[in-house]
Amino acid sequence: MPTTKTAVKKNAPAEENILKTIKDQLSTALSTLKGQLSEKKFEKRIKKAAKLLVAGIKKQPAKKTVPAAKKPTVAVKKAAKTTKKK
């Protein structure tokens, strides 16, 4: 009875989806450069750029976009001092 070991990566599908979406977005945004480079060179550069971007996403923790609620400040007005004329 042979046993097979499989490496299980929990984040693999999410990372692949992120990589694919970044590749698609970069290729559509930089489609004008596709004419200057050959198709193969263009795809290689897009792939490298997408990998660098994904690596940067992995290193930085997600920032919270919702700011904490602030307490409203209440201004207290002081009564004006009256002076007596002599």
Quote the strand ranges of 1-86, DSSP E.
none
Domain ranges of the chain: 12-59
pLDDT by residue for the chain (86 residues), tens digit each?
566 655 545 556 777 888 899 899 999 998 888 888 888 999 999 999 999 988 887 776 666 676 666 666 776 777 677 777 76
pTM value surpassing 0.75: no
User: Between 12-29 and 39-59, two packed helices, what is the crossing angle to 10 degrees?
Assistant: 130
Asked if 50 and 25 count as a contact pair (C-beta separation under 8 A), the reply is no
